[in-house]
């Protein structure tokens, strides 16, 4: 990995983690949403470093763009200002969760440092990607060939979500709404 790439990696990693902390720790939902944009944008840079240009573009367009705009839109529309998400209602639960999370992190760090990563990170279809010059082309090729079945299941997920939106969203007045 070239030096520049390593510098970029560390900058965006630190920013992504800071953004993640910001999502949880911000007092107002709007700040949380903006912190989430920071995390998502930095993840897109990490994808770029991994040569996954298409995923990076989709990440920026769909998550950092469309989804977060909806988030902000809903938050501002509902007018939740200065709403303390972390009230002091169950402080015990909060500290318990922090303790367990820290324990999990310590466990992971211990095991990783003890035995090395052992990650191959190379998918069996990697050669197919290499054969194509363009990343988007290779992605599309895999999507419509080896991963055709998962691709075809996704529309049904959307159909179910749509039925749900209609069934749960329609007026309760009368039997047929």
Partner 1 sequence: MTIHLTAADYGAVLPIMIVLGGALCLLLTDAFVKVHETEIATGISLATLLLAFAASAHLWAVNAGPAFPQGAGAMITGDRFGQFFNFALLLSSALAILIAPPYIRTSHFDAGEFLSLILFATAGMMLMAASLNLMVIFLSIELLSLALYILSGFDRNRPRSQEAGFKYFLLSSFASAFLIYGMALIYGATGSTNLIRIVNVLGGHAGTVASTHTVLSSPFVLIGIALMAVGFAFKLSIVPFHMWTPDVYQGAPTPVTAFMSVATKAAVFPAFLRVFNLALGAESHRWFGILWALAIVTMIVGNVLALSQSSMKRLLAYSGIAHAGYVLVAMSANNRLGATAVAFYFIVYAFMNIGAFALVLVLESRGEAGDEIATYRGLFARSPLLAVATGVFMFSLAGFPPTAGFFAKYYAFAAAVQAGHTELAIIGVITSVISLGYYLRVVVLMFMQPVEAGAEQVRAGPLSDFMLTASVAGLFVVGLVPWFYNLAVQAVQSFFHFTT
Residues making contact with partner 1 (CB under 8 A): 108, 111-112, 114-124, 128, 141, 144-150, 153-154, 156-157, 159-161, 163-164, 166-168, 172, 175-177
Contact 15, 28 (CB under 8 A): no
Contact 75, 29 (CB under 8 A): yes
Q: Which is nearer to partner 1, 4 or 149 (CB)?
A: 149
Q: Least Å distance between CB 36 and partner 1?
A: 15
Cα 11 vs. chain centroid, distance in angstroms?
18
User: Phi first, then psi: what are they for 140, rounded to 5°?
Assistant: -60, -40
Q: Least Å distance between CB 170 and partner 1?
A: 9
Neighbours of 133 (CB within 10 A): 7
Q: Which is nearer to partner 1, 84 or 114 (CB)?
A: 114
Taking the C-alpha atoms of residue 113 and residue 107, their distance in angstroms, rounded to an integer, is 10
Q: Which is nearer to partner 1, 72 or 128 (CB)?
A: 128
Q: Least Å distance between CB 164 and partner 1?
A: 4
């Amino acid at each position: 990995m070239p030096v520049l790439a390593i510098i970029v990696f560390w900058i965006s990693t630190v920013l992504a983690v800071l953004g993640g902390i910001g999502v949880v720790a911000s007092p107002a939902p709007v700040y949380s949403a903006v912190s989430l944009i920071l995390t998502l944008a930095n993840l897109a840079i990490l994808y770029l470093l991994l040569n996954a240009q298409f995923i990076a573009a989709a990440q920026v367009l769909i998550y950092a763009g469309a989804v977060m705009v909806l988030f902000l839109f809903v938050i501002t529309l509902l007018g939740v200002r200065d709403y303390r998400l972390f009230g002091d209602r169950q402080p015990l639960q909060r500290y318990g969760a922090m303790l367990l999370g820290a324990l999990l992190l310590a466990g992971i760090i211990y095991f990783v440092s003890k035995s090395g990563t052992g990650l191959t990170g190379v998918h069996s279809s990697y050669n197919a990607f290499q054969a194509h010059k363009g990343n988007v082309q290779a992605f599309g090729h895999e999507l419509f060939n080896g991963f055709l079945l998962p691709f075809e299941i996704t529309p049904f997920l959307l159909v179910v979500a749509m039925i749900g939106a209609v069934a749960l969203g329609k007026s309760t007045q009368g039997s047929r709404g």
